């Protein structure tokens, strides 16, 4: 794990150096209404509370050393038309992590709707959602890097160095609206099944620090036929790592995370389904000549060891 990830996920943050971004949020093109002093929920103060309700493209200015301004957009689902933010958009911009020890490339900028700084610091409130009601409004680390937010994080000492996101695979990763990303062993993700499903493969990305491995899960038509599925069904699964592999294809299997039908019970290794390397996209940041499944297995094993060591360290500190 790199230093910049440890700086955020391990709590090694210097509170005295958190006035980093100094973003100015405008409700119009005139004077700023509020100054946001931090993107960390644990350090939110009343001065960081902003109201972007019913505004279109509120503008953010980055200070003290970056004087560019940038607009935040709120889009409809179908035609990407820029619309006003909803009437309840009052709260805080913050740096979101998908989970403990997640790679920095998966961090994003989100907006937490809440009533006070105390509620935000305590983890209360809820994330602002897109108009479809199922996905949060967010800006990717790629966007943050492009618009100067990451430089502010580095300058303040919150992270040691920006992530390297210039490889084309990251463009693909962030451009895809609906994508499955796995960064730790046992991480549950959902897959919708339907008899009308036209493709036999499901794509996902295994992501580590500076590494991205595109994978495919094939065999869905045979799996759906085995279950005799007549209507749509969503299954919740996770990747399992084999300890007794002989070939790369035995390294990773698909295991059920929750009971789905009378034929499918939690913990079942699902038949017919095979994890494969992607047929178009290639891994990024992995050793030359390493099989994609070997790379994915290594990333997940390393991440599992890091998480296990941190859990043991916390247990020891309580004794």
Taking 60 as the threshold, does the pLDDT of residue 311 lie above it? no
Residue with tokens 């607009």: 71
Mean pLDDT confidence for 9-22: 40
DSSP bridge partners of 239: 254
Structure tokens at 285: 């940041």
Please give the pLDDT value at position 155.
72
**Binning pLDDT at 50, 70 and 90, where does residue 245 land?**
low
> CB-based burial of residue 241 (10 Å sphere; 0-12 exposed, 13-18 middle, 19+ buried)?
middle
- Answering whether pTM is above 0.75, one says yes
Please give the pLDDT value at position 22.
40
Please give the pLDDT value at position 205.
94
CB burial of 176-204 (b: ≥16 within 10 Å; e: otherwise) equals eeeebbbbbbebeeebebeeeeeeeebbb
**Binning pLDDT at 50, 70 and 90, where does residue 45 land?**
confident
Mean pLDDT value across the chain: 77
Edge-to-edge strand list for the sheet holding 59-61:
34-36, 23-26, 59-61, 69-71
List, for residues 110-123, the tens digit of each pLDDT value. 999 998 888 888 88
């Amino acid at each position: 794990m790199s230093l910049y990830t440890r700086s955020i996920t391990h709590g090694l943050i210097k509170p005295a150096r958190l006035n980093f971004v100094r973003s100015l949020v405008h409700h119009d093109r005139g004077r700023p209404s509020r100054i946001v002093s931090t993107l960390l929920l644990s350090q939110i103060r009343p001065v960081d509370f902003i109201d972007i309700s019913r505004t279109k493209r509120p503008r953010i200015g980055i200070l003290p050393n970056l004087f560019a301004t940038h607009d935040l957009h709120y889009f409809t689902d179908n035609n990407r038309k820029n619309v006003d933010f909803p009437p309840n958009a009052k709260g805080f911009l913050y740096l979101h992590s998908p989970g403990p020890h997640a790679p920095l490339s998966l961090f994003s900028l989100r907006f937490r709707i809440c009533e006070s700084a105390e509620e935000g610091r305590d983890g209360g409130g809820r994330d602002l959602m897109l108009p479809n009601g199922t996905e949060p409004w967010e800006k990717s680390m790629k966007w943050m890097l492009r618009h100067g937010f990451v430089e502010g994080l580095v300058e303040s000492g919150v992270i040691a160095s920006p992530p390297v996101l210039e490889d084309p695979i990251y463009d693909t990763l962030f451009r895809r609206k609906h994508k499955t990303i796995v960064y730790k062993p046992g991480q549950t993700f959902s897959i919708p099944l339907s008899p009308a499903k036209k493709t036999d493969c499901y794509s996902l990305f295994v992501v580590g620090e500076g590494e991205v491995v595109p994978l495919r899960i094939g065999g869905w038509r045979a799996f759906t036929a085995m279950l005799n599925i007549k209507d749509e069904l969503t299954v919740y699964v996770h990747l399992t790592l084999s300890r007794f592999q002989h070939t790369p294809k035995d390294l990773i299997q698909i295991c059920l995370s929750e009971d789905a039908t009378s034929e499918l019970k939690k913990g079942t290794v699902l038949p017919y389904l095979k994890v494969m390397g992607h047929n178009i996209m290639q891994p990024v940041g992995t050793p030359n000549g390493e099989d994609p499944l070997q790379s994915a297995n290594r990333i997940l094993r390393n991440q599992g060891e890091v998480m296990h060591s941190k859990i043991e360290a916390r247990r020891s500190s309580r004794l």
